[in-house]
Amino acid sequence: VKRLFLIDDDPIFVYLTRKIIASTNCRSIIIEFTDGELALRHLGEISHQPELQPDVIFLDLSMPVMDGWEFLNEFGLVRPKLKKDISLYIVSSSISPQEVERSKSYRFVTDFLIKPLERGKIHEIIGHPVS
């Protein structure tokens, strides 16, 4: 079972992402956060419990309180303390090449995904369906 963190303030997009993941039949647990700060706080709380740490983080860029970029800066500091190897995907509606370029300066960002998410891509990321 994969643990997924979905950090996005847009409830419709979160709802739709859940639907897509469900439709892939991959077994997963989705934990939602509406901004970077809430996600970061939670990561701090579970830093000694690898079983609760996510396998994959989907991170939106444009969010209130703490946006995706700030989260990336903070996550870079927290990451060495986490016991797990976490894949982090930026998931943004932005089509700006500057932002794609900027995301490359963070070594731990696996990929920059442009919304909408495709089922095939989700499949690829969270693994094989059950039967």
Binding interface with another protein (CB under 8 A): 10, 12-13, 15-16, 19, 34-35, 61-62, 64-65, 67, 70, 92-96, 115-116
Using CA atoms, how far apart are residues 106 and 121, in angstroms rounded to an integer? Answer: 21
Residue placing its CB nearer to another protein in the complex, 82 or 91: 91
Closest CA to 58 of 100, 115, 19: 115
Residue placing its CB nearer to another protein in the complex, 98 or 105: 98
Residue placing its CB nearer to another protein in the complex, 2 or 115: 115
Using CA atoms, how far apart are residues 18 and 52, in angstroms rounded to an integer? Answer: 19
**Closest distance of CB 40 from another protein, Å:** 13
Using CA atoms, how far apart are residues 46 and 79, in angstroms rounded to an integer? Answer: 12
